[in-house]
A and B are shown apart, each in its own frame.
Chain A
Amino acid sequence: MSALDWIVLVGTLGFIGLYGAYASRGVKTVDEYVRGGQTLRWPTIGLSIMATQASAITFLSTPGQAYQSGMGFVQFYFGLPLAMIVISAVFVPIYYKLDVLTAYQYLEHRFDGRVRTLGAILFLVQRGLAAGITIYAPSIILSSVLGWSLDLTNVVMGVSVVAYTVMGGQKAVSQTQKQQMIVMLAGMAIATVLIVWKLPDSVSLPSAVKLAGALDRMNVVSFDLDLDSRYNFWAGITGGFFLALSYFGTDQSQVGRYLSGKSVAESRLGLLFNGMLKIPMQFGILFAGIMVFVFYQFVAPPLFFNAPALAKVAASAHGPELTALEGRYQAAFEVQRAAAQQYVTSLEAGAEDVAAKTALRAAAQDTEALRTEAKALVKKAVPEAETKDADYVFITFVLTYLPAGIVGLLIAVILCASMSSTASELSALATTTMVDLYSRVRGPAAPDQARDLRASKLFILLWGLVAVSFATFASMLDNLIQAVNIVGSIFYGTVLGIFMVAFFMKRVTATPVLFAAFVAQTTVLVLFFGSDLGFLWYNVIGCGIVMALAGVLQIALPTRLTRQPAAPAPR
């Protein structure tokens, strides 16, 4: 990174941090701290919701995903607008009417304390681990390509987020997220324009898109019904709908964003704003990856994008093998480049050369086979290295080909994304710990704003320490990271099912729903270990079982188990 990059990076982050501290000055009550005093307007809420979901991995991995597998990932988000409608229409008014601070508070009102505790604990376990990943995942990539110390990167990111979150609570989080989202969107737009500008003069944008399509990268929408495939229209509309409904409707890291709204209407508009922008935004990020892919049809890409890992192979006993492989790869790439140029020339002339397209596809298969050989070599020479290098594609391109200043801006984008997601997570973890566990364990006590405010800040600090510690030790626990990513998918269906029963099946009481949640969770786990079902379907199945079984048990169980307890006293 050049001096200009550092100036842009530090300047952007510094401005955002100071702005957050300024905008949230004078927070005195727990309500202001936890719900921003419910003063936020819909643009801030909408941007805050988007910033919470868009973590660093969105910007690091998504373009790489498009580079490797095409645009199909956008279908993952097709259910999101529908989920925003349901949440706006049903969830938001109920949360506001009951004046809750957390989503799980609602569960006690509707069922009993046991269900509230179950919901809160499921959230704390899954989100607590995820907060560490939100810091660790970008750190491992940035530190390896930029040469920064991994532990220092973890600590700097964690500490800076904890600092402004502790100082200003929910309001600081939302105000900084507004700035961060603007930086993220502007940064990606600038990057995409630059990437397209860097394509050879002989390649127009339509030809670039067709070239990507010729190599199976423009598979944006697929209507094939294939239960094992992750990304198709049906999985997106149904599984994606349930996932979004659970994440935005019941996960406190998102619920906390829109409960800070001035009114039901402001919250709803913020959610619908997210619903309108999310798919175009994801399309844009994926498209940046496609343009990088097209760029690399004319400029030789690295044999393996994780350069530090490749350097280790070169320095090992397998170095000569790598050199030979690189030689073959260069030769194969030249054949592919020639075929790509010929194909594009025919497109520009208005008459697609099918033979050139066939030759291009065959050449691409050859280079891909050599990349697979390279990955096997990396695994042999450096067993602990990650062989999936898609996460490194975009950052490698940025560092190698984009001008000074823009590099700093894009690193700022990635750090903003990480910080914005982590801030929401920490704030949500602290609020849930405070409201759903600590206050209830402490028992009834005279209201004391100062004490409660101190406790809220302390919980943010503690969860921040947990997140940074986990990020620091995560490098030793490679498999745990896989498991943690999976945990979210496995639990979301059950939690959503509990809330769906709460909202829509008014006659079902606490005990049936608890039993049903247990059965649903067990079923999803059995399916996970025993089948190849696409992840998105777990949300549907978990939710469906909770709802169906809870309804049946309400009728089948003895009355003494299904009696509705009295609603709890006000908070």
Chain B
Amino acid sequence: MTVGDEIDWKKLYVLLVVELAALTGLFWLLSRWAS
């Protein structure tokens, strides 16, 4: 069995987008709090 047979790629892509959104939100909150 090779890596990839059981990977749900769409879920990984969504995870990346969610991470980006979360980081953007966190950074924005940080900017607001610090400034």
Q: List chain A positions with a Cβ less than 8 A from chain B.
A: 41-42, 71, 74, 78, 81-82, 84-85, 88-89, 209-210, 212-214, 216, 218-223, 233, 262-266, 268-269, 272, 275-276, 279-280, 283
How many inter-chain contacts with C-beta < 8 Å in the A-B complex?
A: 78
Query: B2's closest neighbor in chain A, by CB?
Result: A263
Check if B16 sits within 8 Å of A84, measured CB to CB: yes
Q: How near does chain A come to B27, taking the closest CB pair, in angstroms?
A: 4
CB-CB nearest 4 A-B residue pairs? A265-B4, A213-B34, A218-B34, A220-B27
Interface string of B6-22 (1 = CB under 8 A from A): 01010011001101100
Kindly list chain A residues whose C-beta atoms are within 8 Å of the C-beta of B12. 272
Check if A268 sits within 8 Å of B34, measured CB to CB: no
Check if A89 sits within 8 Å of B9, measured CB to CB: yes
* Chain B contact residue count (CB 8 A cutoff): 21
Cβ 8 A contact of A85, one of B4, B16, B27: B16
Q: How near does chain A come to B13, taking the closest CB pair, in angstroms?
A: 5
Check if A263 sits within 8 Å of B3, measured CB to CB: yes
Q: When chains A and B are docked, how far (Å) is the Cα of A89 from the Cα of B17?
A: 14
Query: B35's closest neighbor in chain A, by CB?
Result: A213
Check if B20 sits within 8 Å of A221, measured CB to CB: no
Kindly list chain A residues whose C-beta atoms are within 8 Å of the C-beta of B24. 78, 221, 233
Q: When chains A and B are docked, how far (Å) is the Cα of A214 from the Cα of B31?
A: 11
Check if B3 sits within 8 Å of A269, measured CB to CB: yes
Kindly list chain A residues whose C-beta atoms are within 8 Å of the C-beta of B3. 41-42, 262-263, 265-266, 269
Check if A88 sits within 8 Å of B27, measured CB to CB: no
Q: How near does chain B come to A276, taking the closest CB pair, in angstroms?
A: 6
Q: How near does chain A come to B5, taking the closest CB pair, in angstroms?
A: 8
Kindly list chain B residues whose C-beta atoms are within 8 Å of the C-beta of A266. 3-4
Cβ 8 A contact of B31, one of A89, A220, A269: A220
Q: When chains A and B are docked, how far (Å) is the Cα of A474 from the Cα of B4?
A: 46
Q: When chains A and B are docked, how far (Å) is the Cα of A297 from the Cα of B35?
A: 17
Kindly list chain B residues whose C-beta atoms are within 8 Å of the C-beta of A263. 2-4
Q: How near does chain B come to A186, taking the closest CB pair, in angstroms?
A: 22
Q: How near does chain B come to A76, taking the closest CB pair, in angstroms?
A: 13
Known: A85-B17, A269-B7. 4 other contacts (CB 8 A): A220-B30, A268-B9, A269-B3, A276-B16
Q: When chains A and B are docked, how far (Å) is the Cα of A271 from the Cα of B35?
A: 35
Query: A236's closest neighbor in chain B, by CB?
Result: B24
Check if A74 sits within 8 Å of B34, measured CB to CB: no
Kindly list chain B residues whose C-beta atoms are within 8 Å of the C-beta of A85. 13, 16-17
Q: How near does chain B come to A242, taking the closest CB pair, in angstroms?
A: 16
Check if A78 sits within 8 Å of B35, measured CB to CB: no
Kindly list chain B residues whose C-beta atoms are within 8 Å of the C-beta of A78. 20, 24
Check if B9 sits within 8 Å of A221, measured CB to CB: no
Check if B28 sits within 8 Å of A279, measured CB to CB: no
Q: How near does chain A come to B7, taking the closest CB pair, in angstroms?
A: 6
Check if A265 sits within 8 Å of B16, measured CB to CB: no
Check if B16 sits within 8 Å of A209, measured CB to CB: no
Q: When chains A and B are docked, how far (Å) is the Cα of A272 from the Cα of B28?
A: 24
Q: When chains A and B are docked, how far (Å) is the Cα of A242 from the Cα of B19?
A: 19
Cβ 8 A contact of B13, one of A89, A214, A218: A89
